[in-house]
Each structure stands twice: as structure tokens, then as C-alpha cells.
Structure 1
Amino acid sequence: MTEPAIYDAVIVGGGPAGATAACDLARRGRKVLLLDRAGRIKPCGGAIPPRLIRDFAIPDELLVARVTSARMVSPSDKRVDIPIEGGFVGMVDREAFDEWLRQRAAREGAERRTGTFERISRSGDGAAIVEYASCGPDGSKPTNRVRAKVVIGADGANSAVARQALPNVRGAKFVFAYHEIIRSPNDAQADFDPKRCDVIYRGAISPDFYSWVFPHGETASVGAGSAHKGFSLKGAVSRLREESGLAGAETIRREGAPIPLRPLRKWDNGRDVVLAGDAAGVVAPASGEGIYYAMIGGRFAADAVEMLLQTGDARALASARKRFMKAHGRVFWILGILQHFWYRNDKRRESFVKICADRDVQRLTFDAYMNKELVRARPMAHVRIFFKDLGHLFGFVRA
């Protein structure tokens, strides 16, 4: 029996987290295998902040749109327009964006294979053997085996790697997202602006999260999210399209998937497996933003793997989560509280949208979003927001 090929790292999942980790490790001269399923496109609004474009050297040609404003819509249809001062939010189509990231990893030296992860077995000396199924020319699905010094599980919210390698780690809280990619309308009657992201807070369309209309240049993403298993997201998106004048727009594709909203308490098995991206639960609560956090998580995972390969100390793998939570844990905690309180019913959503009309809130929110760090430069603005939030919380401010 032929001995399986040996890799420094086998990365399961070729989304932003896995592709970033593969690229970073290949640049360091490591032998890397990037394994990805065929035909996988994640439902995603596609927004990427300037920090991501800068830190990960994303070329302009991948930006299908540049958003310069956001509009928040309350349950009573009150609309708050928020300009993005001094910049823009880039929009990408995940089908093209993810493939470009995989191609970049390959250019740096990572080997790409298409297949479906099955399991991690162990060789006689205890090394990890990654088993995956590929599609043969005759339609068969033979099992392939490769040997890995380290495995990075970047295979999404329902990570098979995580279920096997970290079976005792409690799973993340999920929101289920569904969107339809449509042809951008030219009809003046459609409520659509190619440079504006619309975020709709209405319980009839999303009882516990939000729905959206995001421009993608020639196309647009129209979607909704909810953790309620009995709620019809397809019906919600149909209603949203009807209300926005987008019902007649051509539908190009439909996608749905669970989105985790809480980082797992542990990302590694203390031996030779570490998680990244959705598999680690790093999608921001309240906003559902995940591309930046997936990519920075993939980078931290690659750094942890490199440290392990250099030192032989498996404790290095834990540094991926430690670094992520130090940089972004406080933001996730704040956003989790925000979602838990303000998204609970339409009365609170109405107040939340009213808060979003405040200029202090707008400036601090976009400063934090664009730069991916909490802003401390304007302490009095934080104080004003605190007292305004108390006013809404106790009903002193009328919605």
C-alpha cells in the first residue's frame, strides 16, 4: 500500500479563513494542501472594510461596488441614512472573491485539491491522516489519504473537523441566513441605490436578526437571517423583494447556510488540530460580519501552526484563539449584548433605529467597523451615547 503524502499543514476548507492560512503558510515555505468542496458558495452580503483591504492586499478589481452610505429601516418604516465619512465599504461577490484567495494561495505554493473531508485517522506513530473523498472520472468517490503534521479546520459552521477533533466543545449559537443574488434593477421605481446598503429591522421579515439589500455592482444580495427554525426565510426574502420593488428582478442564484455568532471556547485539540473562520465561530453578533474575522482568524491559525512546526510545542496552537479574543473579544461581547437586547421585539428595534440616527453613534460605529478596533479618541462621545442608551432603555426617549 502506497504511503500517503506528507504535508506540514492540511487545511480543510477553502473559504477566506482557509485560503488565508494556506497562503500565509505557503509563503513561509511550508508544504501545504488546501482541500475544498466543489461548488461551495456561502450566502453573504459581501461587505469588506478598509482594514481588510489594507491588511490582506485585496486588489481593486475584486470590488464589485463601493458603498458610501447605509440605511437603517425600522419596523414602522422610519429610515435613517448614515453617510460613510471619509471612505467607503468595499463589496465583493463571494464566488469570485473566495476563488481569487484560493488562487493566490496556489501562486504562493499551496497545493489545491477538490474533495469532501471524511475523517482524521491516526497512523501507527500517532500522526494525523486526513481522509477525504474525491470524484473519480467514472463517477466513483474513492477515499484519499494524506499525512499532516497539523490540520487546520476551516470547513464552516457545521465543521466536521471540529466535531471529530473537539467533540466535547459546546457548539456555537447559530443564525440561519438565506439570500438571493439578483440582477441589479434599472427600474426607477425600485427602492435600490447601487452605493447604499439597506439594513431592515422588521420582525415580520426577520424576527430576531435583520434582513438586507446589499449592492454588488451588476448584481445585488437580498437576504434575511433568523435563529427561529420554523421561520420561512425564503418567504421573508420574497416579501422583502416585493416591498422593495425587486420582485421582478432576475434571480441568478439562491444560497443558504448557518452562521455562528459566538466564538467557541476552545479552537485546538492540544495536539495537531486548530480551527479557523466559521468553524471557530468568529462571525460578529448583531452585524453578522464574518469575512474580516475569518481572514484574521486564518492568519492567527497559520501563525500558531508555524510556531508549532518550529518548536514542536503543541501549546502554540492555543495562541490563535488567545490573540483573536485579545484583539476582538470585547467587540464580540458588546455586539452580543446589543443583539440580545435590541433585536428582541419590534418596539426595541424601533428604538434601536432611532439611536442609529445619532451622529455620535454613527461616527463611533463606523470608526470601529472601518478600522476593526474600539475608538477611544472621543471619550465624551462615549459618555453621551451611554446616557442616550439609558434613556431609550428606560423609556425616557420616545421612539
Structure 2
Amino acid sequence: MSEKIYDAVVVGGGPCGATTANDLALAGHSVLLIERGGRIKPCGGAVPPRMLEDFDIPHSLLVAKARCARMIAPSGRSVDMPVGEIGYVGMVNRDEFDEWLRERARMSGAERLCAVFEKVERDEHAHPQVTFRRKRGGEIESVRARCIIGADGARSSVAKQCLPGAERVPCVFAYHEIIKAPDNDDLEAFDPDRCDVFYQGKLSPDFYAWVFPHGDTASIGVGSANKGFSLRGAVSQMRSELDLTRCETVRREGAPIPLKPLKKWDNGKDVIVAGDAAGIVAPASGEGIYYAMVGGRVVADAASEFLKTGEAKALKLARKRFMKEHGRVFWILGMMQYFWYSSDKRRERFVTMCDDKDVQQLTWQAYMNKKLVRKKPLAHIKIFLKDCAHLLGMRAATR
């Protein structure tokens, strides 16, 4: 295997890497998907319905459908945002969901290899080597690739080795605990059809905490970029206050989540990154699954064009296409996070804004469609004026 040459080696078997591998294999390229076995990324697991359609995902992979989001302010005041008739928030379990995507890639023609990526090495040969170990302390093996795709998550090893400055991407560290869902129907703190989002400085000084339903289980988590903040302590506090300490803990997981796209995704030769490795997780919301799969698809398209033409400039098309479609949304969400998450006073006002029906309608339409809604300019003007009023403190923080 050491001298075999693949058209593409994809490092990382999450939603992004599996999508990239699947699309490249369907395009007729020889693909090796290198994945780390047994790792499940901490993730709320929320996905929009359009993702199922865009990527041919069976509805059977959904473990729950949330029909409402509850926003909880620092004061404890809550605002419910019902999805209404326009859809739902789908919930997936990452262990089952990711494995289904990887197996689909294999059935499409990609080879799967459970191993840990080591490095990209270059010599006199025209194509670089990708080295890896099948187990910790095992023998170093290698294959050659015409194109290397780094889909190995935040603080990607591929990105660090091949893209200058990639290690400086800002991250939020996320931690969650998967618990057995409570069976008490009278428990106000948990609703199997509702996603709860806590905008409280005591639970996260710069992001948010959550309780998301997953059918038989639930995800209780928190994110923060503050290195001195105890994420485990915050989750423990949540479980205690919500009467969820009695629920069995299934597993605990933590990982960094990037919140700013890299300025450059490729090395100008034969390496490109995608998904979390490229920093494409939505600011403010931390939503990553849908954007990871979109990123994997645009990278696969760009890599396929590169493989067919030999023109390295084709790799640059991936970032250009992604940012053209989603860059404005990312910019707005980034500004929102910077301002509204900076203090409990502002968080209180933010939750108050969420009680506005215009805000709710446009928020859900933007989430479902994954683009800014332009069909209702008057509603946008109303929201802009209300937003300005909140920014200037002209409206009461509570009603």
C-alpha cells in the first residue's frame, strides 16, 4: 500500500470528510478516507430539513424533531420561539449519523481506513506522501495522493502543516454530556420537542449553554473561549438546577469549535482543507453540520476540477463559492455574537428581541433556507429599528 497513488486522500471522517469522499468517488476518482475510530465530536446535533434534501439523507437518521426553541435570559425569563408550519429542527446522533455517511462513501467507491494521520511529506516524487499509523505506537505507513483534503476538524493537523497561520484560528471550546432523557412528562426543564438555549453569563461568559433533545437521550452542553472558565462546572450546575442530575450519563465529550473561516483554504499546489478545518462553523449559533457538508461538497467540486485539469488554481474556487453563498450570514452572526454575548445586560435585551414575532419568523426562515430572507423588506426595516432601540437601551430589558 505504501506506494499506491490515489487521486484524493481525505483526512477526517466526519460529515465534511465523508461528504467530500462520497462526492469525489461518485465523480469517478480513486479516494482513500482516513478516519480515527471511536471518536464522537461534542455536538448539539441540530440540522435543518433542507440538509436532508440537499444531501439525500434518510429521515430515519433523525432521532427527534424539535418544534420550538426556548431562549433563557440571565434573569431566568424565557421566550419560546415556535417553528410553526415552516418546518422543524432535526436532531441527529453523531455516532450513527457520521458512520452512515462514511459507509455511504464506501459504497460509492471510496476506500475506508481507520488510522491516525501523521504528516504530509514531500520528496523527489511528483505527488506527496500521506503518512499514518493504524494504531498508537504502530508502524508508520504511507500512500501517495494527487490531492490531499484536510477534514480533520478544528486545529487541523493538515492545516497546521500546509497552511501558514492556520493554527491561529479563534475557537470556542465545547463540552457536553449525553444523558438518558428524563421520563417525567411533568418536568418543565425538559421537553422532547424543544431546544433550550441559555444566554447566561454564569453558564458561559461569551457563548451559550444548551439542552437539546435526542429521542431517548439529551445533550447538555456549553461553549466558551474563556480558558479559565469551567465547562464541566457549568454543565454540572445546569443539571443540578434543572433537576437532571438523576439522569444517567451516557458519555462526556469535548472539543474546540472554530468560529471564523480561514482566509485561505489551499496551499496553491495540492492540499485543501474543509469543514471545521477551514473554520466554517456559524458564529453565534455554533451550527456546523450543515455547513460542514456544504463545505465538503464545494471542496470536492474544486478538487475534482483540479484532478481533471491539473490546474491548482481550481482549488481556490471552493472558498470563493462558499463565501459567496454564506459569507454575509457568517459576518452578521459574527457581529451578533461580538455584541450581544458580551454582557448579561445585553443578553437580557437579546432574549427580549427574540419575543418579537417578526424576529422569530425571519430567524426560522433564515435557518430553514440557510440564506438571508429578502422577500420582506418592511419586516427587515422593522427589525433594524427595533435592534437599534435595543442597542441604545431605549427598550426595557424585560416586559
State the TM bucket, normalised to the shorter chain.
over 0.9
Tell me what 1:128 maps to.
128
Distance 1:3 1:234, change over 3 A: closer
Q: TM-score, normalised by structure 2?
A: 0.97
Alpha-carbon deviation of 1:126? 3.6
| Percent pairwise identity | 61
Partner letter of residue 70 of structure 1? Answer: A
Counterpart CA distance in 1 for 2:19 and 2:167 is: 26
Tell me what 1:230 maps to.
228
Alpha-carbon deviation of 1:29? 1.3
Q: Find out whether 1:337 has 2:326 as its counterpart.
A: no
1:185-204 pair list within 5 angstroms? 185-187=182-184, 188-189=186-187, 191-204=189-202
Residue 157 of structure 1 aligns to a residue whose secondary structure is coil
Counterpart CA distance in 2 for 1:190 and 1:180 is: 20
CA contact (8 A) 1:171 1:264 kept: no
Partner letter of residue 84 of structure 2? Answer: E
**164, 168, 174: which one pairs with 1:167?**
164
Alpha-carbon deviation of 1:167? 2.5
Alpha-carbon deviation of 1:128? 1.1
Partner letter of residue 102 of structure 1? Answer: R
CA contact (8 A) 1:308 1:314 kept: yes
CA contact (8 A) 2:11 2:117 kept: yes
CA contact (8 A) 1:190 1:246 kept: no
Alpha-carbon deviation of 1:9? 0.2
Alpha-carbon deviation of 1:325? 0.3
Alpha-carbon deviation of 1:61? 1.1
Partner letter of residue 110 of structure 1? Answer: A
Counterpart CA distance in 2 for 1:157 and 1:343 is: 22
Partner letter of residue 128 of structure 1? Answer: P
Alpha-carbon deviation of 1:170? 6.0
Tell me what 1:118 maps to.
118
Counterpart CA distance in 1 for 2:288 and 2:241 is: 27
**197, 201, 208: which one pairs with 2:206?**
208
Q: Deviations over 1:28-79 (max 9, x none)?
A: 1110000011111100000000121110111011000011110000000111
Counterpart CA distance in 2 for 1:321 and 1:73 is: 35
Q: Deviations over 1:165-201 (max 9, x none)?
A: 1124462211000000000001233510000000000
**280, 285, 288: which one pairs with 1:287?**
285
Counterpart CA distance in 2 for 1:94 and 1:125 is: 39
Residue 64 of structure 1 aligns to a residue whose secondary structure is strand
Alpha-carbon deviation of 1:323? 0.4
Distance 1:3 1:159, change over 3 A: closer
Counterpart CA distance in 2 for 1:282 and 1:176 is: 15
Partner letter of residue 361 of structure 1? Answer: V
Residue 240 of structure 2 aligns to a residue whose secondary structure is helix
CA contact (8 A) 2:195 2:210 kept: yes
CA contact (8 A) 2:177 2:252 kept: yes
Q: Find out whether 1:61 has 2:60 as its counterpart.
A: yes
Residue 168 of structure 2 aligns to a residue whose secondary structure is coil
CA contact (8 A) 2:159 2:167 kept: no
Partner letter of residue 149 of structure 2? Answer: I
Tell me what 1:77 maps to.
76
1:1-399 pair list within 5 angstroms? 4-86=3-85, 87-135=87-135, 140-169=137-166, 171-187=168-184, 188-189=186-187, 191-399=189-397
Q: Which moved further from structure 2: 255-264 or 184-193?
A: 184-193
Partner letter of residue 295 of structure 1? Answer: M
Q: Deviations over 1:92-137 (max 9, x none)?
A: 00011000000000010100001111110113134110000112xx
Alpha-carbon deviation of 1:89? 1.1
Counterpart CA distance in 2 for 1:88 and 1:389 is: 26
Partner letter of residue 141 of structure 2? Answer: N
Q: TM-score, normalised by structure 1?
A: 0.97
CA contact (8 A) 2:48 2:368 kept: yes
Counterpart CA distance in 1 for 2:362 and 2:299 is: 30
Alpha-carbon deviation of 1:269? 0.1
Alpha-carbon deviation of 1:3? 5.3
Task: Give ranges in structure 1 of 5+ residues lacking alignment.
Answer: none
Alpha-carbon deviation of 1:242? 1.1
Counterpart CA distance in 2 for 1:89 and 1:56 is: 16
Count how many residue pairs are aligned between Structure 1 and Structure 2.
Answer: 395
Q: Deviations over 1:360-389 (max 9, x none)?
A: 111111101111011000000000000001
Counterpart CA distance in 2 for 1:3 and 1:58 is: 35
Residue 280 of structure 2 aligns to a residue whose secondary structure is coil
Counterpart CA distance in 2 for 1:3 and 1:294 is: 30
Counterpart CA distance in 1 for 2:198 and 2:343 is: 13
Residue 221 of structure 1 aligns to a residue whose secondary structure is strand
CA contact (8 A) 2:155 2:166 kept: no
Task: Give ranges in structure 2 of 5+ residues lacking alignment.
Answer: none
Counterpart CA distance in 2 for 1:253 and 1:245 is: 18
Distance 1:83 1:315, change over 3 A: same
Alpha-carbon deviation of 1:140? 4.9
Alpha-carbon deviation of 1:231? 0.3
CA contact (8 A) 1:172 1:262 kept: yes
How well do the aligned residues superpose, as a CA RMSD in angstroms? 1.1
Counterpart CA distance in 2 for 1:375 and 1:170 is: 34
Counterpart CA distance in 2 for 1:163 and 1:110 is: 25
Counterpart CA distance in 1 for 2:12 and 2:107 is: 17
